[in-house]
Amino acid sequence: MSDTRISDSIIHQLPPEISNKIAAGEVIQRPASVVKELIDNAVDAGADELRILIQNAGRTLIQVSDNGCGMSKEDLPLCFERHATSKINTVDDLFKIRTLGFRGEAMASIASVSQVTVKTKRAEDENGWEFEVWGGEEREIKPTATDNGTTIAVRNLFFNVPARRQFLKTDVTELRHIIRTVQYAAIASTDVAFYIEADGDVIYDLPVQDLKDRVTQIFGSSYKASLIEFAEETSYVKIHGFASDPKLAKKSRGEQFLFVNGRPFQHRYLTHVILSLYDAWTRNNEYPFYALFFDIDPAKVDVNVHPAKMEVKFEDERSVIQLARSVVNRALNKHFQVPNIEQNDDPFLSDDSSKGFGSGFSFNTQNSRQSGSGDFQIPSRINNRSSNIQGKGDEFGEQLYGRGSSIQQPNYTGAGNFEPSEEEQKKVTQDKGFWQLHNSYILTQTRTGLTVIDQHLAHKRIIFEKAINATEEALPSTQQLLFAQTLEMSASDYTLLKELHSIIQRMGFSVQLLSGNTAMINGVPADIEIGNEEEVLISMLHQYQELGQKVKLEAREKLAIAFAAKAAIPRGKKLTEQEMEGLVDQLFACEQPYMDPLKKPTISYIPLDEIQARFR
């Protein structure tokens, strides 16, 4: 039997145009990724002024201009080669990285999925140079007249990768990611002036300024007097930054910033630790602002974890987190004049050296931030009874109003058992039909048991259906304000308001968009208490963002849910019998009275035989 061999190898090296597109999938995920890489290069080039122009949320154009050192004619084509960089030269350099970029992948990845034009000039050169790379195909280098520094224009992102372009989100969503990226860079580099313009609208025009002024200009003047400064230095790490007063906490994440050696990074557990320090002053699902800076020996932190460069590994992670917790906790306690009692029940931060690093890594499921809801939970044996009442329709609704009818009494037997007198029975039948438990739950008897209604969830259902119906009306009901309210907003909030403006108007708001991230509120829906309109509108936007990450609904449905969550009667509010009766009337007039907009039960039914069983 002859030996048969396959002479041709089936393994081959991919050509650059394919390998670069594969790399681009990790490095360039969306327009904001391009903005981040170009800003990093500009800062590394020593620029102290950046101008960023965006068109169509980065789909059509992303242009970043800087006044940095510029590039020579020889370096210009090299910057588009994979793993070509000026930041490192040896393996040892990987352990002392101070620059934002170092991998040499970004420009090659960007150029492989877009049409890139670069104009650059060094201060010592008489003229600049222009170079184009379209879809990885290099074109001729030619001299050009340009200012000192570098301007990079990225056009038609993902033009040659239709699948990637198809999976981009809406323009407003992509623009919010870009704004978030610029916020990170602007907070990290306060010695750099930032100007960003999107479709002709100026988003930020930030001069060189200190950190407190930078934060105030980005997020609004209300932050100036509400920032809590902290700083601590040890032989291992230096920590400094600002945290906000809890009154500035938002309903959605997005204003929590971590930096190590000027590099933004994300760390889920550290974020959990810092947010948990606010639990005494914030409600569930509220997120305060903080900007936390770590200065540490580069050899003690690994930034080469992922191509996106947003993950890092500390050599002594436990010490870093424990110090951060202590510093921020001390600053908050000092601000609120609370005695500083360090109590550390977290096994991850325990000083027990016998445990391996990270051996105690766990999230406390009993912590309020992990529970997912601050709702009071009815005991399990009577909870989630909505399935028992769904489908009974008018019959169940009529039972709620049968309070004048005879009440089925249990059969009491045996010595010492309670038996109501005729006078007490008469009092029960003449007493009010609704009671309030803990100012949160409405109780009413039916012919066959007891019904418990969550007043907050019930009112959410009512307002949600009103808001949805209002969007379908030609002229929604609006109560005009005696004095219009001018609202200064963050750039991301204003961008979201622009996207949702038409829906918000149809829900009964009268909001006028002004320049400079400012809006004017002229009228609000009838369900909103006058004097609370600014808080309601901002809370709606934040709740909408939070919902966008959790549920897949139409924009108007998510907005109606956000509106209902803020405008609904809160738990803890005392109601009169007339108010309770009116609430129940409106609830059973809804199309789906048994569930709130997020499918939580509004009603729990306890059968009489179950109540009787408890006394046997």
- Per-residue pLDDT reduced to its tens digit, 99-141: 776 666 888 889 999 999 999 999 999 999 999 999 888 888 9
Q: Which pLDDT band holds residue 532 (cuts at 50, 70, 90)?
A: confident
Q: Out of 27-36, 45-54, 133-142, 403-412, give the one with best mean pLDDT.
A: 45-54
Q: Where are the domains of the chain?
A: 16-208, 212-371, 387-409+422-616
Comparing 94-108, 335-349, 436-450, 591-605, the range with the smallest average pLDDT is 335-349
Q: Mean pLDDT across the stretch 11-29?
A: 68
pTM (global) more than 0.85:
no
Q: How confident is the model at residue 311 (pLDDT cuts 50, 70, 90)?
A: confident
Please state which CATH number belongs to domain 212-371.
3.30.230.10
The model's confidence at residue 46, banded by pLDDT at 50, 70 and 90, is very high
**Residue 53 main-chain phi, psi, to 5 deg:** -115, 130
User: What number of CA atoms fall less than 13 Å from residue 589's CA on the CB side?
Assistant: 12
pLDDT, average across residues 450-456: 94
Structure confidence at residue 140 (pLDDT): 87
**Same CATH topology for 16-208 and 387-409+422-616?**
no
pLDDT in tens, 498-526: 888 988 888 888 999 988 888 999 988 87
Contacts of 271 (CB under 8 A, 6+ apart): 256, 258
Closest CA to 153 of 71, 40, 27, 51: 51
Give the bridge partners for 291, in sequence order: 242, 257
Helix (H) or strand (E) holding 263: strand 263-264
Burial of 1 (0-12, 13-18, 19+ CB in 10 A): exposed
Structure token digits, residue 5 = 């061999």
pLDDT band at 381 (very low <50, low <70, confident <90, very high): very low
| Integer Cα distance of 455 and 459 in angstroms | 6
What 3-state class would DSSP assign to 36? helix
Cα distances (angstroms) measured from residue 372 to each of 252, 367, 550: 13, 10, 12
May I ask the CATH class of domain 387-409+422-616? Answer: alpha beta
Tokens of 116: 């890139």
In this structure, the number of other CB atoms found within 10 A of the CB of residue 312 comes to 22
- Mean pLDDT for 378-390 is 37
Burial of 549 (0-12, 13-18, 19+ CB in 10 A): exposed
Report percent pLDDT > 70 for the chain: 77
Instruction: Please tell me the least confidently modeled range out of 13-17, 347-351, 413-417, 585-589.
Output: 413-417
Is 25 or 569 the better-scoring residue by pLDDT? 569
Provide the pLDDT for residue 167. Answer: 86
> In the predicted model, is pLDDT for residue 4 greater than 70?
no
Rounded CA separation 574/431 (Å): 19
Confidence of residue 393 (pLDDT cuts 50, 70, 90): very low
Q: What is the mean pLDDT of residues 323-341?
A: 85
- pLDDT at position 241 is 97
Q: Is the pLDDT of residue 405 over 70?
A: no
What percentage of residues in the chain have a pLDDT greater than 90? Answer: 43
> What pLDDT score was predicted for residue 520?
92
Q: What is the pLDDT of residue 131?
A: 96
More confident: 151 or 549: 151
> Mean pLDDT across the stretch 75-88?
79
On the question of pLDDT at 212 being above 80, the answer is yes
**Which pLDDT value is given to residue 417?**
39
Higher pLDDT, 419 or 205: 205
What pLDDT is attached to residue 91? 67
Q: Please classify residue 271 by burial: count the beta carbons closer than 10 Å to its beta carbon, then call 0-12 exposed, 13-18 middle and 19+ buried.
A: middle
From the options 3.30.565.10, 3.40.50.1820, 3.40.1370.10, 3.40.50.2000, give the CATH code of 16-208: 3.30.565.10
Flag whether pLDDT at 41 surpasses 50.
Answer: yes
What's the chain's length in residues? 616
